[in-house]
Amino acid sequence: MEKLQQQLNYHFKDLSLLKLALTHRSVGKKNNERLEFLGDSILGLIISRELYKRFTHVEEGKLSRLRSHLVRGQTLAQFGVKLNLADILILGSGELKSGGYRRESIQADAVEAIFGAILLDSDFETINTVILDLFKDLLDGINPNDSLKDPKTQLQEYLQKRNNTLPKYELIKTVGKDHNAVFTVKCFLTDQDIQVNQDAKSIKRAEQSCAQILLDKLKGKK
């Protein structure tokens, strides 16, 4: 956790908050879901404010698409890899056996939970600095004129251009209820015999993760 704090350029006054942020629901009732809820909210606010300040003439719809592109689960999971969260996530025995520390959704949720923990441990300006430092390269490289099509749309267009069968999405499992539910979605390409499963806190997010993985696989094949 010391290395993680160095990478974030923030050291916790209350280290138990960071430990809680790294604790997956599979461990028990004391887990990072509430911190994730808080972190998701503060991340959306900070990125929204930054986009508003940077792109003064961009209309609301495009700002929303820019924000969605920046804070999507895949981006957060990439930060999780960059921060080496797999080495320090606290998981229940079932998730450990199934390799949950490698799962994108778990890493993405932990990143949001860390943001929530930093907010509680400090103040708004501190978490604002941490998040903007982390997102600096992405913010500097974003172009409001890009189409920013979501992975499902990109995958569909990629397949259509090559006259391939379109993907099929199927909800195969739901664990938990209401706001605590985790959805597992299967996406498969029948004519290419490829399929992937992804889980997330929403069906839409799970579908987008599946589509991105398939898109990467297909482009890697070429």
Which residues are known catalytic residues?
40, 112
The whole-angstrom separation of Cα 191 and Cα 164 is 7
Q: Write out the two tokens for 164.
A: 């391939």
Q: Go through 61-78 and write b for each residue having 16 or more CB atoms within 10 A of its CB, e for each that does not.
A: eebebbbebbbbbbebbb
Residue 22 DSSP class: T
Q: Measuring CA to CA, how many Å separate 63 from each of 117, 150, 198?
A: 27, 14, 27
Nearest to 73 by CA among 218, 217, 198, 214: 198
The whole-angstrom separation of Cα 134 and Cα 124 is 15
**Beta-carbon contacts of residue 140 (< 8 Å; ≥ 6 apart):** none
CB atoms within 10 A of CB 136: 10
